[in-house]
Amino acid sequence: MMRFTKISMLAAGTLAVFLFSGCVSSESSVAPGIEDFVYRGHDFGPDRDSDYRRGVMDGCRTTDGDYTKDHGRFKTNESYRAGWEHGRLHCKGTSAQ
């Protein structure tokens, strides 16, 4: 019985090593051809549309003291609004480059 327990534990440990070794991330988890949107040294993620990018740029300009926001877009375009808020948050305290 003791021998069966040791063999079972060894098998379970070996199986766990194989299962968890598949969880190691590769060098890039993003699909080929999709680049991250990097602005002022901040990575805002892959595959961002033009509304999100414009929002980030406007949000960053706002943190520089030049309040910039397309109010119509902000109210109706979720992507622009998310970009503006993320830009304002991440660019706070950084200078324009």
Instruction: Check whether 80 has a pLDDT greater than 90.
Output: yes
Q: Which residue has the tokens 């960053």?
A: 60
The verdict on residue 1 lying in a domain is: no
Domain count, the chain: 1
Query: What is the identity of the amino acid at 97?
Result: Q
Question: Domain range holding 48?
Answer: 35-97
CA dist., res. 66 & res. 64, Å (int): 6
CA dist., res. 73 & res. 21, Å (int): 46
CA dist., res. 81 & res. 97, Å (int): 23
The verdict on residue 13 lying in a domain is: no
**54 — pLDDT class (breaks 50, 70, 90):** very high
Instruction: Check whether 96 has a pLDDT greater than 80.
Output: no
Instruction: Check whether 7 has a pLDDT greater than 80.
Output: no
The verdict on residue 84 lying in a domain is: yes
Largest Cα span, the chain? 76
The verdict on residue 29 lying in a domain is: no
pTM score above 0.75: no
The verdict on residue 53 lying in a domain is: yes
